[in-house]
Structure 1
Amino acid sequence: MRSIGEMARDSGLGVSALRFYDRAGVLVPARVDPVSGYRWYAPEQLDEARLLARLRRAGMPLADVRLVLAGWSSADSDLVRGLLQAHLRRLELGLADARSEFSTLRALLDHRENPMSTSSGTVTVRLSVPAAELAAALDAVRFAAGADPELPVLGGVLFDVEDDVLRVVATDRYRLAVARVGTTGHGGPRVQVVVPAPLADAMRALLSGDEPVRFTVDGDRVTLETGDRQAAGQCLAYDFPDYRRLVHLPSGRRVLVDVPAFRKALETGPVRAGEAREQGGASHDLSVLRVADDGTVTVCEDGDDAPDNVALDRGFLLDALAAGARDRLILEFGAPTAPLAVRRTDDEDAFSLLMPVRLDT
Structure 2
Amino acid sequence: MPNDELMPIGAFARRSGLTSSALRFYADSGLLPPAEVDPVSGYRYYNADQVARATVLRRLRELAMPLATVEAVLGSGADEASRLLDEHVAKIVGDAAAVQQKAAVIKSVLGNVPGLPITAVKGPVLADAVEQVLTATAHEPGIPALAGLRIEACHESVTLTATDRYRLSTRTLVPTEPPRQTWAGTVNGDELRAAVADIRRSPLVRLEAVPHGIWFRVAGREDRHCRLLPEEFPDHRLMLASLGEVTTRATVAKDLLLRALEEHPDERLGLCAADHEVNVVSADDEQPGIPLPATATGRALRIWFELTTLYPAVSTAIGPDVMLDLRGPDQPVTIRSADRGDLTTLAMPVKSGHSA
Q: TM-score, normalised by structure 1?
A: 0.58
Conserved 8 A contact 2:123-2:204: yes
Q: Which has the larger radius of gyration?
A: 2
Matching residue of 2:280 = 299
Counterparts of 1:188-337 in structure 2, within 5 Å, are: 188-209=180-201, 211-227=203-219, 228-248=221-241, 249=243, 250-271=245-266, 285-294=267-276, 296-304=277-285, 308-337=301-330
CA distance in 2, matches of 1:226, 1:123: 15
1:234/1:134 Cα in 2 relative to 1: closer, same or farther (>3 Å)? same
CA deviation vs aligned residue, 1:16-51 (integer Å, no higher than 9, x gap)? xxxxxxxxxxxxxxxxxxxxxxxxxxxxxxxxxxxx
Q: Percent of aligned pairs with the same residue?
A: 23
Deviation, 1:253, is 1.6
Conserved 8 A contact 2:131-2:193: no
1:196/1:322 Cα in 2 relative to 1: closer, same or farther (>3 Å)? same
Deviation, 1:244, is 1.6
Q: Secondary structure at the match of 1:251?
A: coil
Deviation, 1:304, is 4.3
1:180/1:211 Cα in 2 relative to 1: closer, same or farther (>3 Å)? same
1:345 to 332, 338, 352: 338
CA distance in 2, matches of 1:144, 1:239: 17
Deviation, 1:148, is 0.2
CA distance in 2, matches of 1:215, 1:289: 41
Counterparts of 1:92-241 in structure 2, within 5 Å, are: 124-185=116-177, 187-209=179-201, 211-227=203-219, 228-241=221-234
Conserved 8 A contact 1:132-1:207: yes
Deviating more after overlay: 239-248 vs 140-149: 239-248
Conserved 8 A contact 2:269-2:282: no
Q: Secondary structure at the match of 1:326?
A: coil
| Amino acid in structure 2 at the alignment position of 1:298 | N
| Amino acid in structure 2 at the alignment position of 1:220 | H
CA distance in 2, matches of 1:188, 1:242: 24
Conserved 8 A contact 1:342-1:351: yes
CA distance in 2, matches of 1:343, 1:332: 9
Conserved 8 A contact 2:137-2:148: yes
- Structure 1 alignment gaps of length 5 or more: 1-120, 272-284
Deviation, 1:186, is 5.2
CA distance in 2, matches of 1:176, 1:287: 20
Highest RCO, 1 vs 2 (Cα 8 Å, sep ≥ 6): 1
CA distance in 2, matches of 1:347, 1:354: 20
Deviation, 1:310, is 0.8
CA deviation vs aligned residue, 1:258-298 (integer Å, no higher than 9, x gap)? 11111111111242xxxxxxxxxxxxx1111111222x111
Runs of 4+ in 1 over 6 A off after TM superposition: none
Deviation, 1:139, is 2.1
Matching residue of 1:76 = none
CA deviation vs aligned residue, 1:31-75 (integer Å, no higher than 9, x gap)? xxxxxxxxxxxxxxxxxxxxxxxxxxxxxxxxxxxxxxxxxxxxx
| Amino acid in structure 1 at the alignment position of 2:336 | R
CA distance in 2, matches of 1:210, 1:251: 40
CA distance in 2, matches of 1:308, 1:180: 30
CA deviation vs aligned residue, 1:76-130 (integer Å, no higher than 9, x gap)? xxxxxxxxxxxxxxxxxxxxxxxxxxxxxxxxxxxxxxxxxxxxx9982332111
CA distance in 1, matches of 2:320, 2:340: 14
Deviation, 1:329, is 1.0
| Amino acid in structure 2 at the alignment position of 1:232 | H
Alignment root-mean-square deviation, CA: 2.4
Q: Secondary structure at the match of 1:342?
A: strand
CA deviation vs aligned residue, 1:155-192 (integer Å, no higher than 9, x gap)? 10001111221100000111100011112455344311
Q: TM-score, normalised by structure 2?
A: 0.59
- Structure 2 alignment gaps of length 5 or more: 1-112, 287-299
CA distance in 2, matches of 1:130, 1:146: 27
Q: Secondary structure at the match of 2:158?
A: strand
Conserved 8 A contact 1:340-1:355: yes
Deviation, 1:216, is 1.0
1:210/1:254 Cα in 2 relative to 1: closer, same or farther (>3 Å)? farther
Matching residue of 2:289 = none
Matching residue of 1:279 = none
